[in-house]
Amino acid sequence: FAPRATRPSAGLAHSRVRMQAERINTQIDLDSPKVVNMLELEGKAVYCRCWKSATFPLCNGAHAKHNEATGDNVGPLIVTAKKD
Amino acid sequence: FAPRATRPSAGLAHSRVRMQAERINTQIDLDSPKVVNMLELEGKAVYCRCWKSATFPLCNGAHAKHNEATGDNVGPLIVTAKKD
């Protein structure tokens, strides 16, 4: 077995990324059975995917602090509505 | 201090949601320093926010299994491009 040469991301080799069965959301609408956001888009928007943003569902850069604290690499989703 | 009457979500009272300093992403582009997706949208799309979808950045329903295994309540982002 020849391990694929991978650049360890923030010191974490693939195999040592502990498979986590932890919840991702510890802040947003905890009383809701499932947090689904349905939004209309005009132009461009940056959406949160780290569940830590104070402006959720929009991104406010909170992923930086989360990534630093955990060695994670999550970032936002940037969507632009196609012009006709 | 009068605690807000909250319906414990899946048996987890607010106070017992353990504040997790764990990584959220254990599957997607682990070699990337930060996973950011820039997409154009025509019509409607359902985007993954649980980082478990096999069709990431699009949702494939993988959040259901994650939520069941962890008591989490994460769901997708549904975006519709505004018609002129």
Nearest CA distance, B62 vs chain A (angstrom): 13
Cβ contact (<8 Å) for B72 and A23? yes
Q: Which of B34, B44, B82, B83 is catalytic?
A: B34
Q: What is the pTM assigned to this prediction?
A: 0.77
For residue A15 the two structure tokens come to: 């195999």
B34 belongs to the catalytic site = yes
User: Which pLDDT tens digit goes with each residue over A30-74?
Assistant: 999 999 999 999 999 999 999 999 999 999 999 999 999 999 999
pLDDT band at B17 (very low <50, low <70, confident <90, very high): very low
| Single-letter residue type at A32 | S
For residue B58 the two structure tokens come to: 């699009």
Cβ contact (<8 Å) for B82 and A47? no
Q: Is the pLDDT of residue A12 over 50?
A: no
Cβ contact (<8 Å) for B39 and A79? yes
Nearest CA distance, B69 vs chain A (angstrom): 7
For residue A39 the two structure tokens come to: 């939004």
Instruction: Give the other-Cβ count within 10 Å of A9's Cβ.
Output: 18
pLDDT band at B19 (very low <50, low <70, confident <90, very high): very low
- Please give the average per-residue pLDDT across B10-29, as a whole number: 65
User: Residue A40 pairs with which residues in a beta bridge?
Assistant: B80
Cβ contact (<8 Å) for B37 and A77? yes
Q: Which chain B residue has its CA at the smallest distance from A5's CA?
A: B31
Residue B76 phi/psi, 5-degree rounding, is -80, 170
